[in-house]
Amino acid sequence: MPQLEAWEKVWISQDFMSSTHGSQNCTSCHGGSNTPQKMDDAHKDVVRDPAADAVAKCDPCHAGYGAQHEQSLHGTLNGYKELIKLRTGQTTLSPELEEMYTQNCASCHTTCGQCHISRPQSVGGGFNNGHIFTKRPSMTLNCTACHGSRIGEEFRGEHSGLSADVHYNQGMQCVACHSSQEIHTSNPTAKHRYDETDQTTCKTCHEIGSSNTYHTLHNEKVDCQVCHSQPYKNCYSCHVGKSSAGLQQPSELDFKIGKNHLKSAARPHNYVLLRHIPIAPDSYEEWAPGQMTNFSVKPTWKYTTPHNIQKNTPQTANCTSSCHNNPSLFLKREDMQHLSQQEQIANESVVVDDIP
């Protein structure tokens, strides 16, 4: 997404001025002085993103949302932090890991304003629409500004030879499925997005009747995406190095069915799709040498729900040649032979030994 010019980022429209928020004094949120000032003086002590203190700035009018956001995964980034703790065996991160986290992962932290007013700071910021507050964040300017290289590209069909998600083609945006309750958190103790209790699933909209034999046979055993997704992006290392060398191993499109390591009442399936996440045994080496002591504690091929759904895919063509006689679709031990011993141990719980 191209960045805005400096002046575009801070331009306030007349529509904002006549809105509810526009009727407030600028200083009531941003601090500083409301009397005529020279530019340098006017910007002294100005708070650029007041919503960073959501409880103080947003909650007086939007009761509870700020506090809720601060407990959400977008607010806490527990998804990242928890995995760093697990893979290093540290309950409190060492100063080196804390610095790595702050310099890299924490840049994805977002505030109320970075979804409802401006683009996220991690992509340069700037008002979406003249400072106008929007109840529903923009898919392009907000959601996929951060969740772009996997979710965004897959959803919009930007990979050569692959189609856009059928929901995208119907004009649906992220918020059509990802509710306010989910994004602001339905589970303050969540350490992973699948820990949220209020999530939309396929079955929220699509009733699984008895007329489709495939659905009857596979329901509860095979996740919907196994049949209805296309290949998706897998990453094998991460941009957390101090150098600008970037990824050690490029991402690639792949499609792997594996065992469900996150089985729950909401996700009871035996077989799900797995995506290799951007982690390698040496990912933290430049920041904290030797501290990733527990790499194998969690799979590196993780439960995934790709956003490139189609009614008809190669898997739905027919039963025998599409899936049941097609070991290449499953994550097998030989698929990991080129990876480290630690990777092979990490994925013991998801690898498929007996192809169904």
Partner 1 sequence: MRIAKTIVTICLSLWLLVSLQYGCTKKNPAKSTNDNQEKLTCVDCHTNLDKLKVLAVPDTVSHGDSGET
Q: Write out the two tokens for 183.
A: 């994004």
Helices (H), 180-273: 180-183, 202-205, 213-218, 224-228
197 touching partner 1, by CB under 8 A: no
Which amino acid is present at 104? Answer: N
103 touching partner 1, by CB under 8 A: no
Q: Which 226-255 positions form the footprint of partner 1 (CB under 8 A)?
A: 239
306 touching partner 1, by CB under 8 A: no
Phi-psi category of 347—alpha, beta or left, where left has phi over 0 and alpha has psi -120 to 50?
alpha
Q: Which of 18, 20, 23, 40 binds partner 1 (CB under 8 A)?
A: 40
Round to whole Å and give the CA distance between 319 and 301: 25
Q: Which of 27, 102, 201, 325 binds partner 1 (CB under 8 A)?
A: 27
Question: Binding string to partner 1 for residues 284 to 303, with x set by CB under 8 A, is what?
Answer: --------------------
Q: Could you tell me which stretch among 38-46, 188-196, 296-304, 322-330 binds partner 1 (CB under 8 A)? A: 38-46
316 touching partner 1, by CB under 8 A: no
State the minimum distance, in angstroms, from the CB of residue 199 to partner 1: 20
158 touching partner 1, by CB under 8 A: no
Round to whole Å and give the CA distance between 280 and 99: 19
Residues 238, 239, 245, 251: what is their CA dihedral angle, to the nearest 10 degrees?
A: 50
**∠ CA 58-63-69 to the nearest 5 degrees?**
65
32 touching partner 1, by CB under 8 A: yes
Round to whole Å and give the CA distance between 94 and 83: 14
Beta carbon nearer to partner 1, 144 or 313: 144
Contact 144, 152 (CB under 8 A): yes
23 touching partner 1, by CB under 8 A: no
Round to whole Å and give the CA distance between 326 and 332: 12
Number of residues counted as binding partner 1 (CB under 8 A): 43
Question: Binding string to partner 1 for residues 118 to 147, with x set by CB under 8 A, is what?
Answer: --x-xxxx------------------xxxx
Round to whole Å and give the CA distance between 200 and 309: 15
Query: Radius of gyration (Cα) for the chain, nearest Å?
Result: 23
267 touching partner 1, by CB under 8 A: no
Q: Which 42-71 positions form the footprint of partner 1 (CB under 8 A)?
A: 42
Q: Which of 18, 20, 35, 244 binds partner 1 (CB under 8 A)?
A: 35
Q: Where along the sequence are the contacts to partner 1 (CB under 8 A)?
A: 1-3, 5-7, 9-14, 17, 26-27, 30, 32, 34-42, 107-108, 120, 122-125, 144-152, 239
